[in-house]
Amino acid sequence: MRKAFLRTILLSLLLLASNGSFADFKYLDRGSNSWGKFAYGMAFVARGYTPGHAFVVWFKFDRNRAKFVEYEGYGLYPDNRKKAVFGTVPGNILKEFNIYPNNGLIIWVTKLMYKKSQNITQTMKSRNVPYHFIKESCVDFVKSTASAIGLRTPSTSGLKNLPQRFISKLKEMNN
């Protein structure tokens, strides 16, 4: 029964995340044995345009009602009033309105991991953070959030770690 429940949830997430198209996702379980009424999960994902964009999605599932009660994503963006080519500009953690990635790591977590990572994001949202296309970009936000819940993370330096590649490496490094 537990495997069937998890499989149903994962298929639902895949459809939500990929908007019905085939996608390249890896799934990990680091918390389902601690759940009560709610299942908690996070997705570290990227969208596939050039140069791409990486962000984090949090989701909470009511197991009794078989319904998602939270589903929200955030990413780091340059301040839209500044041009962010190769210089450092103010950045902001912003809510994602297009949560349709094509590559990602979906991980079931404990409530504590879920809340800890959300708190870090809330703290970052409350202030401006630097944004630099090469040194302090959306992949750095994803890396700090993934590190906060104990995932192994790849380096974010250089142009080789554009969002799609960074997420692929993150998936390879974690089992």
Query: How much is the pTM?
Result: 0.84
What domain count does the chain have?
A: 1
118 or 48: which carries more pLDDT confidence?
118
Q: Which residues touch 106 (CB under 8 Å, ≥6 apart)?
A: 10, 13, 17, 25, 26, 27, 28, 41, 42, 43
Q: How confident is the model at residue 142 (pLDDT cuts 50, 70, 90)?
A: very high
**Which residues span the domain enclosing 98?**
2-173
**What is the structure's pLDDT at 156?**
84
Residue 130 has pLDDT above 90, yes or no: no
